[in-house]
Amino acid sequence: MIDIQKEDKIAIITIDNPPMNAVCKKMLDELENKLEDIIDENIRALIVTGEGKAFIAGADIKEMKDMEPKEAREFSRRGQNIFNKLQDLSCPVIGAVNGYALGGGLELALSCDFIVASEKALFGQPEVGLGIIPGFGGTHRLEESIGPAKAKEIIFTGRKLGAEEAKEWDIVNHVVEDDELMDETRNIAERIIENSPFAIEKAKQAMDQGRGKSREESLKIERDRFKDCFEAPDQKEGMGAFLEKRDPQF
* Domain locations in the chain as residue ranges: 2-193, 197-243
Q: Quick one: fold of 197-243?
A: Lyase 2-enoyl-coa Hydratase; Chain  A, domain 2 (1.10.12)
Closest C-alpha to 58, from 99, 6, 87:
99
Domain 2-193, what fold?
A: 2-enoyl-CoA Hydratase; Chain A, domain 1 (3.90.226)
At 7 the pLDDT is: 85
Q: How confident is the model at residue 218 (pLDDT cuts 50, 70, 90)?
A: very high
Q: What percent of the chain has pLDDT over 90?
A: 96
Residue 227: predicted pLDDT: 98
pTM for this structure? 0.95
Q: What is residue 103's DSSP assignment?
A: T
- In angstroms, the CA 58 to CA 127 distance is 9
Distances (CA, A) of 219 to 25, 104, 196, 198, 214: 40, 33, 22, 19, 8
Residues that are catalytic: 107, 127
- Read off the pLDDT of residues 17-61 as tens digits, 9 standing for 90 and up: 999 999 999 999 999 999 998 887 889 999 999 999 999 999 999
Looking at residue 39, its pLDDT comes to 84
Helix (H, G, I), strand (E, B) or coil at 100: strand
